[in-house]
Amino acid sequence: MSLHLAILIAKHLKNSAFKNKAVFIITLFISLLLVYAVLSGWENYTNQNQTSEKYQHESREDWLKNPDKNPHRMAHYGNFAFRKSTSLSVFEFGMEPFFGNAIFLEAHKQNTANFSEAGFSNSMLRFGEISTAMVFQILLPLLIFFLGFNSVAAERENGTLKLISSQGINWKQLLAGKTLGIASVIMILFLPAVLVLVFIWLLLQNFSISFDETLKMILFVGFHFIYLLLFCAIAVLVSASCKTSKKALISLIGIWLVFTIILPRTTQAIGAYIYEAPSKIQFNSDIEKDILKQGDSHNPNDSHYKAIKDSLLLVYKVDSVQKLPFNYSGFIMTEGEKISSKIYNKHLENLLHIYEKQNRFSRAVSFLNPYIAMKNLSMALSNTDYDSYIDFQKKAESYRYDMAQKMNALQIKYISNQKDKPAVIDKNHWAEVQEFHYEPKGVLSVLKNEIASVISLFSWIILLFILIRLASKNLKAI
Amino acid sequence: MLALVFKNFIRSKGTKVGLWFLLIIGFISLLIGQQFQQKQNKNITEAAVYQKEHIVRNASFHKDEMGLLLYYVKFSLVNKTFPLNSLAIGQRDVNPSVQSVTIRGLEGQKYDSELNNPSNLLLGNLDFSFVLLYLFPLLIVAFTYNIVSEEKESGTWKIVATQSNNTFFYILKLFCIRILSLIVLLTIILFMAALLLDIPFKSSLLTFYIISILYILFWFAVCFFIVSLQKDSNFNAVILLTIWLFLIIILPAAINTYIVNKYPVPEALELTLKQRNAYHEKWDMDKKTTMDKFYRHYPQFKNYGIPAQEFSWLWYYAMQQMGDDESAKQSEELQEKLKQRNQASQTIAQFIPTLHTQIQLNEIAKSDLENQLLFMQKTKAFHEKLRLYFYPKIFDNAAVAKENWSKFKVETFEDNSQTNLAKSLLPLLFFNLLLIVPGWMNFRKNQAVM
């Protein structure tokens, strides 16, 4: 019975909403914007992946085409890791514009990820981008607030609230009904949009989808659904607790601004202010200093490398490195690579730790702010978040290390210490280095990483239920 | 009368909260700017110290071979950060302000990116330009959306109308007070900024100030026009917020997405593959082919001939040079594309005051793509200068110890390009007039009714 009444109220709200011409225009406009968002996301995705694939392929061909040569020269010839987008990034760009698209992987040297979209843009980029997720996360909540600010407050102003309560409808039914009513208006926009998204998403992958990606898509849609319902409930609660609809409107606009514009930027800025990250110069020179402490393989008199040399000569009972049964400089480079990459990784860990501290601030605020929780979650699901990027870079680095050491191993094995033979090996060896392939993080590890956001969204649901309950007891009709 | 109206405005709790909020967040933005400035300065000092140590160390290790030494030695060029930069950080956090290059192939080095936390980049800086662009308009809207409607709704408008012989002037006064208070606030913040960040009181700060004022006036003009339509407060609030949303979020984002898709830059990846192959393939080619190409580029070195040894630094640097020479076309195409991008966004921005203001402020602060492109050009010239200086020394294998290494200090590039005042101010002036005139007419027309 009570549900029936709530549905009746919901239907009433929905019908009257569409009598309002402004609502109609806004809905139409948001639909157009969604179409634009999906189309540009699509174009962006295909551009990114086609380019990435093309050059990944080309660079592989180039690698294999190399003639017989010294493996160390091949280690300097190097490989590339090109970043590819996941299918969900059509709808959620996340941090993609700020990600470097290519890392050059060579011996001795950890290169930066270069060619980010941001590096090629002017400051216009910093206003943000239009993506489906942005429409869902920023614009739809505002539409919900526009629809909902007078849902109860206007009835109070008109005096109809008293009429409703005298007809035996209690507050709980009224609040639930109004929430459902706003939700049903929003669903008229959201549901068809989701259908289109799913269709496009299937189309992009030629209807062959993996289980992992399907789960991510379902979660993406599911969490956005919950997120929008949250805002419907917030709108109704605020409207019910304000004396006039004007007050409700101003409060809701305030909430929206704080949630979507002011808090995200402020918290991240504070995080970055408190935990200052080192500059690149400092980072690199610290690494260099540490490597020098360990020993400089380029310095012939370095004690670390001299000790290695002496012990090798002793073990193999020879008097010069030229007489060793394997390639000496290959051996030294293996050692050097091991030391330098260990030191690099240690410094990188420290740096990433600072970044995580910076991010922790806004992560903590995501408990207060469902927008940040939703944003973090949707970026994680589409693998366009901070963690995915760091993961990509780490995988690229480990590929680089393996490649360099593989080339060193070939040198140790096949290259002679004497200068009489040409120091080259057969080109067939090049294929022994596998092509770089990156598999984005799976749904489980994504969820584990974003557990704070998931908890935050669920706590918001619980909180709103409690608030509706409390409000039902304390609200007055007059 | 004006004094009373002012008292009424300034005493309201909402006004006080709003002004204090803006002042505090403005101050925070200055602190963030200050930190940015300190970081940049530290960066540059470190670069100088680092370069000195680095050269001394390497020169003592590789004292016999000039060619080997210059394989390692890096020279830095700094893109000067002006104090004003801290007010509009722009793209300076994305792009490196120091380029450290060896004299080997430049194309493989010049796009090396800055170390960054992408989360910070995504959410953006809380610098003064953010406060001005995003938050000032919100306060302007909050101060003005109900200027007439509130009094009408509470029934006091009739009293005002009967007591003042010209209601339009009354409304103008209300606006003037609000405009004045926000301009005073802006002045206070910028004055604090000048002191805190050591910004010289020069024309660039003045231009910055004028653009900021025009931008604030633009938002007052928007509100003035909407208020002149004489709708109720709720309508005004919704419509003004929608305009804000359009100008601050939707239009810039849509245009950016458009530009990114319209001018994709696959040239970047093309270039990076090309330069790798162009250099490396020379190892497996006849030395003469490489050397001939090299001498065609630098005929002044022709007399060094074709090296007979299996390996020589002359040949090595000639190969490195080929990496740049043979990818020059792609490199130029990339620069061209980026210029097009920048041009297109500037042209479109003229029609969108928010975007225009952002781009202009960043241009004055030398923190936009244009500055970055110039810096890359300068890096190229810097690199070329070093090459030409060291090539003969390498080819002659000049004594390392004889070189005066201490003269290789970090160099600084100062972007002194002037802002075109007409280009930066006219669009804002135009939009101000475009809104004020019809607003004025609306009020005049309705005065009889009021």
Q: Which two tokens stand for residue B397?
A: 């294998």
Residue A390 has pLDDT above 60, yes or no: yes
Nearest CA in chain B to A101: B269
Determine the pLDDT at residue A1: 47
B249: which chain A residues are within 8 Å (Cβ-Cβ)? 127-128, 138
Q: What is the pLDDT of residues B400-422, one digit of tens each?
A: 999 999 999 999 999 998 888 99
Low-confidence residues of chain B: pLDDT under 70: 1, 447-450
Question: How does DSSP assign B211-278, residue by residue?
Answer: HHHHHHHHHHHHHHHHHHT---HHHHHHHHHHHHHIIIIIHHHHHHHHHHHHS--THHHHHHHHHHHH
3-state secondary structure (DSSP) of residue A354: helix
ipTM score assigned to the predicted complex? 0.92
Q: Which two tokens stand for residue A177?
A: 């009904």
**CA distances, B169 to each of B175, B208, B364, B437 (Å):** 10, 31, 37, 15
Q: How many domains are contained in chain B?
A: 1
Nearest CA in chain A to B267: A51
Q: Does B253 touch chain A (CB under 8 A)?
A: yes
* Sign of the dihedral through C-alpha B298, B303, B307, B313: negative
Give A68 to chain B, closest Cα distance, Å.
9
Q: Mutate which of A120, A273, A359, A419 to test chain B, going by most B C-beta atoms within 10 A? A: A120
Residues 151-170 of B with CB under 8 A from A: 153
C-alpha to C-alpha distance for B209 and B203, rounded to whole angstroms: 10
Determine the pLDDT at residue B450: 47
Determine the pLDDT at residue A298: 60
Which amino acid is located at A148 in the chain? G
Q: Which two tokens stand for residue B88?
A: 């509009």
Q: What is the pLDDT of residues A312-348, one digit of tens each?
A: 888 999 888 888 888 888 998 999 999 999 999 999 9
Q: Which two tokens stand for residue A108?
A: 């001795």
b/e per residue A438-450 (b: at least 16 CB within 10 A): eebbbbeebbebb
Determine the pLDDT at residue A19: 78
Q: What are phi and psi of A273, to 5 degrees?
A: -70, -45
CB B321, CB B297: distance < 8 Å = yes
Question: How does DSSP assign A195-245, residue by residue?
Answer: HHHHHHHHHHTTT---HHHHHHHHHHHHHHHHHHHHHHHHHHHHHHHSSSH
Q: What is the pLDDT of residues A133-178, one digit of tens each?
A: 999 999 999 999 999 998 998 888 888 888 887 887 888 888 999 9
CB B95, CB B114: distance < 8 Å = yes
Q: Give CA B145 to chain center in angstroms.
A: 32
3-state secondary structure (DSSP) of residue A309: helix
Task: Tell me which residue of B250, B7, B128 sits closest to A134, measured CA to CA.
Answer: B250
Determine the pLDDT at residue B234: 86
- Measured between CB atoms, which of B113, B270, B280 is closest to A77? B280
Determine the pLDDT at residue B195: 95
CB B208, CB B364: distance < 8 Å = yes
**DSSP summary character for residue B83:** G
Where in the sequence is the domain holding B396, given as residue range(s)?
2-447
Residue A296 has pLDDT above 80, yes or no: no
Residue A2 has pLDDT above 80, yes or no: no
3-state secondary structure (DSSP) of residue A169: coil
Residue with tokens 């970044």: A355
C-alpha to C-alpha distance for A165 and A171, rounded to whole angstroms: 8
Residue A132 has pLDDT above 60, yes or no: yes
**CA distances, B200 to each of B39, B84, B418 (Å):** 19, 9, 16
* Interchain CB distance below 8 Å, A253 and B237: yes
| Polymer length of chain B | 450
* Interchain CB distance below 8 Å, A124 and B113: no
Confidence of residue A300 (pLDDT cuts 50, 70, 90): low
Give A280 to chain B, closest Cα distance, Å.
6
Angle value at C-alpha B441, between B438 and B443, nearest 5 degrees: 115
Q: Which two tokens stand for residue B446?
A: 């309705």
Q: What is the pLDDT of residues A364-385, one digit of tens each?
A: 888 899 999 999 999 999 999 9
A28: which chain B residues are within 8 Å (Cβ-Cβ)? none
Which amino acid is located at A73 in the chain? R
Residue A191: partners with Cβ closer than 8 Å, 6 or more residues away: none
Determine the pLDDT at residue A365: 86
* Interchain CB distance below 8 Å, B125 and A97: no
Q: What is the mean pLDDT of residues A406-425?
A: 86
C-alpha to C-alpha distance for A370 and B98, rounded to whole angstroms: 39
CB A41, CB A203: distance < 8 Å = no
Q: Does A355 touch chain B (CB under 8 A)?
A: yes
Q: Does A362 touch chain B (CB under 8 A)?
A: yes
Strands in A102-106's sheet, in edge-to-edge order, are A79-82, A102-106, A109-114
Q: Does B102 touch chain A (CB under 8 A)?
A: no
C-alpha to C-alpha distance for B310 and B303, rounded to whole angstroms: 19
Determine the pLDDT at residue B81: 94
Confidence of residue A297 (pLDDT cuts 50, 70, 90): low
3-state secondary structure (DSSP) of residue A425: strand
CB A188, CB A31: distance < 8 Å = no
pTM over 0.90: yes
Give B14 to chain A, closest Cα distance, Å.
12
Determine the pLDDT at residue A418: 78
C-alpha to C-alpha distance for A90 and A85, rounded to whole angstroms: 8
C-alpha to C-alpha distance for B215 and A77, rounded to whole angstroms: 52
CB B91, CB B372: distance < 8 Å = yes
